[in-house]
Structure 1
Amino acid sequence: MPYRLPVPPAVIAGAVADVSTIGGFFEMGVGPIGPGWRPLADLPVRHRIDDAAVRLGTGETRVAASLLFQGLAARLWSPVVGVAVAHGLLVDVDPSQVHWYPTPSGPLPLRAQRLTGRRVVGTSLAEPLYRAVVPGLLEPLAQAVQEIVKIAPGLLWGNAASALAGAVQTLTRGRPELAGRAIALGRELLALGVLRGSGELVEPAPDRPFFVRRSCCLYYRVPGGGMCGDCVLLDQITRREQWALTMRRGGGS
């Protein structure tokens, strides 16, 4: 029977510090909260969408909202997925305890004064991790976005799935010894709840995952933009050519 074992906060902090070295989207600070930091629950979504529109050079609020949501989803998935894959631990991410700091560009800085977590025994981490991130963090964010601009739920959850896949791909590049576990967890998560049917992780070569989504994030509508590597609009020949090129260069998409 599955059960959860509480883990000392120091162990969780060490695991978070470890995966923070993988890349900017995986970084999360743990310790005293200084001036200027605000609870994640107080993120000014309308202001962030307006800023995104200016940065992207688009007058389409829907496009800016879509891409903002995808970037924030990647930021929220990455540390939690990283700790789950690298350390087998579930981090408790409460939006009233996790704080953010305003920055003009780059991944949104995240910090918590103290993080708790647990080791899940007797079952996969996928379902409790899904509940922590999707209902706990992404559904409130999606609701806030939809109160500002009319945007299809399927588009937002396709963005969330793409963001999750990006975290998995970054893990396979940064920690290749964890590739199998990262891909397996990613596929389990993509089969759950609102992520189900949003797309799939494929491996044109072992441990080299690429995501194929069933919706479009609207990036092609940004001035100078184009189709993302996982876009539903991309034809199969071009997609496979991009995969081959990326693998020759040693990256992921």
Structure 2
Amino acid sequence: MSTRANQLLASTLDGMNPTEHARLLPDESWGQLPASLIENPEWMAEQLRLRGRIWYTDDARVLATLWWFSTSSKLIAPSVASYVVTGEALSPRLEDLRLHWQPDSRLSGVTSVNVLPGSDPLESLAQALRRTLDRSIASVAATAGIRQRPLWAIATDAIAGCLLWAGRARGAPGRATALAEPLVAAMDAPMPAPRYTEVESRENASRLFTKRTSCCLLYRAPGEDKCSSCPGRPPEQRRALLRENTPH
């Protein structure tokens, strides 16, 4: 990791609630691999095969979607969090990312080893995210033989969710989530607009959630159900389940 990247990561952590640091400090005991491996067809196929052991299915569409749902938010976390907290972004370029990887295909997180250059931080971040997501989604889709568009929807939710997480950790969720629309628009990618929804608890406390545009297909794995925030659930059922996760 470059000295500047180390300094930017330290500044980012200093500006966040310590309880949220783990997401930016992956387990160092896990192996580190270059994120550019995502573009390697053999490596990508092996990750899906390994995920099949976790989810007890050989459905390539389900495995690729679940892998991308988990991985996409980790790929963008360092750059999004650093931008929200400091106004400067760690690089999301695949060449600058290290995957903290277990032999069963799971990732504990991602480290960025460089700072993203550019005079316009939002535009620079948007274009770098676009390139990383373009390359990653193309590889995942090709490996599984599936369409790219649903994976772009997952990327939208990853960005929206990561901004919300970083904003809460910073103590300014409203300011962070306000970045979602301009950031996604500046990416100019084939992805839906990010959305949020506010859910009230029984005590009239409210909490913001990402209003997902994508489905992770978890329910298609044996013995699994739809996520509480799944867009495939009826709206009232989804709100009721989210309400259970709202602090009382």
Q: TM above 0.5, one fold?
A: yes
Partner of residue 133 from structure 1, selected from 129, 136, 142: 129
Q: Which amino acid aligns with 2:10?
A: G
Cα 1:105–1:95 change in 2 (3 A) is: closer
State the Cα deviation string for residues 46-102 of structure 1 (Å, max 9, x = none). Answer: 111111121111121110100101111010121111111111112223322322243
Looking at structure 1, the residues matched to 145 and 193 of structure 2 have their Cα atoms a distance apart, in angstroms, of 19
The answer for the alignment partner of 1:4 in structure 2 is: none
Looking at structure 1, the residues matched to 197 and 217 of structure 2 have their Cα atoms a distance apart, in angstroms, of 22
Partner of residue 11 from structure 1, selected from 7, 11, 18: 7
The answer for the alignment partner of 2:181 in structure 1 is: 187
Looking at structure 1, the residues matched to 30 and 231 of structure 2 have their Cα atoms a distance apart, in angstroms, of 43
Looking at structure 1, the residues matched to 29 and 26 of structure 2 have their Cα atoms a distance apart, in angstroms, of 14
The answer for the alignment partner of 2:247 in structure 1 is: 248
Cα 1:97–1:168 change in 2 (3 A) is: closer
Q: Which amino acid aligns with 1:143?
A: A
What's the CA shift for 1:111?
Answer: 3.7
Cα 1:36–1:190 change in 2 (3 A) is: closer
State the Cα deviation string for residues 180-225 of structure 1 (Å, max 9, x = none). Answer: 2221112333445336425512234698322223342211101122
SS of 1:194's partner is coil
Looking at structure 2, the residues matched to 65 and 201 of structure 1 have their Cα atoms a distance apart, in angstroms, of 25
Cα 1:108–1:46 change in 2 (3 A) is: farther
Cα 1:150–1:199 change in 2 (3 A) is: farther
List 4+ stretches of structure 1 deviating above 6 A.
Answer: none
What's the CA shift for 1:34?
Answer: 11
Q: What are the ranges of 5 or more consecutive residues in structure 2 without an aligned counterpart?
A: none
Looking at structure 1, the residues matched to 98 and 207 of structure 2 have their Cα atoms a distance apart, in angstroms, of 33
Q: Which amino acid aligns with 1:225?
A: E
Looking at structure 1, the residues matched to 57 and 107 of structure 2 have their Cα atoms a distance apart, in angstroms, of 20
Coordinate RMSD, CA, aligned = 3.2
SS of 1:37's partner is strand
Looking at structure 2, the residues matched to 23 and 49 of structure 1 have their Cα atoms a distance apart, in angstroms, of 29
The answer for the alignment partner of 1:26 in structure 2 is: 24
Q: What are the ranges of 5 or more consecutive residues in structure 1 without an aligned counterpart?
A: 1-6
Identity %: 22
Looking at structure 2, the residues matched to 17 and 188 of structure 1 have their Cα atoms a distance apart, in angstroms, of 24
The answer for the alignment partner of 2:83 in structure 1 is: 84
When normalised by structure 2's length, the TM-score is 0.79
Q: Which moved more, 1:64-73 or 1:90-99?
A: 90-99
Looking at structure 2, the residues matched to 42 and 107 of structure 1 have their Cα atoms a distance apart, in angstroms, of 13
What's the CA shift for 1:115?
Answer: 1.8
